[in-house]
Amino acid sequence: MTTFLYELSTTGAISFSDIINDPTGSFTRRISDATQIRSRLRGTLKESKRTDGEKDYLTKILDEYLPQLRSISECVAHGELQLKSEPVFSWRTTLSANLFNNSPRVSLPSLHAEYACCLLTYAFAFSNLARTIVASLGSYENDRAISQAEREAKDERLKHATGYLGRASGIFTYLSETVLGELERSTSTKLPPDLSSEVNTALARMSLADAQTLAIRKLLSKSFYDSNVTPGPPLPKSHPAPGLIAKLHLECASLYSSARTLAKTPSASSKSSDDVSAELRHYLGDEASLHSAIAKKWLGIDAGEKGGESKAGDAVGFLVWAKKELQELKDGGKGAGLAKGDREKRDRNLRKEKVAKELETTEIWLKHYKKTNDTVHFQPIPSQADLQSRIPTGVSAVFATTYDPPKPIFGLGSDSRTQNEKDSLDEDYAGESGGSTSPSVPSRSSSKYAGAGEYY
C-alpha cells in the first residue's frame, strides 16, 4: 500500500523588481536572485506535471527560495524595501472539489500568501518523496529470495520515507498553527481549502498516520519474512507483541478519522464543507476503516496467544468482527468507483490487494481459534458492545518533526553582516580577483538542502 499522492500546484510568473522598490539600492542583486530562484521553482513545478515520480530537486529549490522570500518580507515589514503595489501571486489549488475536477487558478494577494503556498508545496513534496520510496520497494518482506542485508537496506529506506512524512506533518502543523491564522486575519480574500487551518491540521494528522503505517511495516518486516510461507499460527519468535501492533493500528485509525472530520469542517475562510476533494476524503475514510479492522484482528490474535480459557471467546469475537469489517472494505469502501485515472486505479487495486491479504490471514487465525474454543475451552463469544469496551487506546510510534522557519539571509533579522558591509567586501574581492562577484545565493555545492545525502 502506498501513501497519498498530492497533485503539485503550479504558479504564475512574477518579477520582484516589478513589485518592490529598493530606495537605497542596497538589495538590487538580492531582488534579482529571488526572482531567478522563483522562476526555477515555477519551471520545476510545471515540469513535474509531465514527469513520472517525484525527485528531491523541488525541495532543494524551496530550500533556497524560502529564505529569500522571508528576507524580502522582513525588509518590507521594517521599511528597508517598499511595495510599489499590493503583490498578487497566482497559484493553482490542488485539494479543491469542483464541477470539472480540475485545479482552478486563484490570485492571492500579499507576500504572506506566497509564503503559505510555498510551504504547502514544500510539505506536498516531502510526502510525495516518501511515496516514491515506498513504491520503489515493492513487497520486499514477502520475497523469500531476499537476503538479510537486502531486507535491512530496504527497511532503512522505509525509515527515510517515514522521516519525510514526519517532516511534512511538521510543516502542515506550522502552517495551520502559525502562518494561516495570520493570513486569514490579514486578508478579506476567500481562500481555497488548501489554505484552511482546519484542512492543514487534517493533512498534518494524515501525514503522521501515513508515517506510522510505514513504521508498523518496518517493525513487522522480519516476522513477515519469517512467516510468509505459512502465514498464521504460531507467530514466529521475531514477531513483536500483537497487542502493541493492535495499539499502533488503533492510533492510525484515530488519526485518519479525525483528519477526515477536520477536512469536512467548514471554516470562515473556505466556501463550504464540500470544498475538499472527494479523493482525499475517501482516502482518509478508507484508511481509518482499514486500520480499525486490522487492529481488531491483532486484538484477537493477542487474546488467543495469551492462552487460557478466559481469552478464547475474546479471540474469536475480535476476529469475527475484523473479518466482517474487512469483507465490507473488500466489497466496496468509501472510494469505490471514484478512481478515474491510471494512478487512482493503481492505488485502488493496491488497496484491494491489501484488504484481500488481511482478510485471508484473519480467516486463518479465526479458523484456528474457533476450532480451539469449540473443542477445548467452550467459551461464549462476547457481544460487539462488550468487545468495544475492551478496545485500548492507540499508541504513537512516530511524531511530527517540528518545522523551524528559515532565518532571513539579508536585511534586518539576518545573521549576516549589514548589506552595505557585505557589498563592500564583495567589491573588494572583485577588485582583488579581477572577476565579478557571484550572487550570494546558496549554491548547489554549499546548500544544505532537505534531501542531502539521501538519494535513491
Does residue 49 lie in a domain region? yes
Does residue 126 lie in a domain region? yes
- Cell numbers linked to 188: 478579506
Percent of the chain scoring above 90 in pLDDT: 68
Does residue 254 lie in a domain region? no
What is the chain's mean pLDDT, rounded? 86
**10 by DSSP, 3-state: which?**
coil
Q: Looking at 141-294, which runs of residues are DSSP E strands?
A: none
**30 by DSSP, 3-state: which?**
helix
Q: Which domain holds residue 86?
A: 7-96+106-228+407-456
Using CA atoms, how far apart are residues 29 and 35, in angstroms rounded to an integer? Answer: 10
Does residue 190 lie in a domain region? yes
Pair 280, 335: CB distance under 8 Å: no
Using CA atoms, how far apart are residues 330 and 351, in angstroms rounded to an integer? Answer: 9
The pLDDT value given to residue 456: 30
Look at 328 and 419; give whichever has higher pLDDT.
328
Pair 132, 456: CB distance under 8 Å: yes
Q: Which residues contact 411 (CB under 8 A, 6 or more apart)?
A: 27, 71, 74, 75, 78, 80, 81, 419
Pair 267, 196: CB distance under 8 Å: yes
Using CA atoms, how far apart are residues 220 and 155, in angstroms rounded to an integer? Answer: 10
Question: Would the pTM of this model clear 0.85, i.e. be above it?
Answer: yes
pLDDT (tens digit per residue) in 288-301: 999 999 999 999 99
The DSSP annotation for 316-356 comes to: HHHHHHHHHHHHHHHH--TTTTT--SHHHHHHHHHHHHHHH
* Residue 388 CB neighbour total at 10 angstroms: 11
Does residue 181 lie in a domain region? yes
Does residue 427 lie in a domain region? yes
Number of compact structural domains in the chain: 1
The pLDDT value given to residue 418: 47
Does residue 239 lie in a domain region? no
pLDDT (tens digit per residue) in 399-442: 999 999 999 999 987 876 444 444 443 444 344 434 433 333 33
Burial code (b: 16+ CB inside 10 Å, e: under 16) for 291-306 equals: bbbbbbbbbbbbbbbe
pLDDT (tens digit per residue) in 97-128: 654 456 778 999 999 999 999 999 999 999 99
What is the Rg, in whole angstroms, of the alpha carbon atoms belonging to the chain? 26
Angle CA(247)–CA(249)–CA(252) in degrees, nearest 5? 115
The pLDDT value given to residue 118: 98
Does residue 129 lie in a domain region? yes
Q: How many CA atoms lie within 13 A of 216 on its CB side?
A: 27
pLDDT (tens digit per residue) in 151-187: 999 999 999 999 999 999 999 999 999 999 999 888 8
- Cell numbers linked to 444: 548547489
The pLDDT value given to residue 449: 41
Using CA atoms, how far apart are residues 105 and 153, in angstroms rounded to an integer? Answer: 42
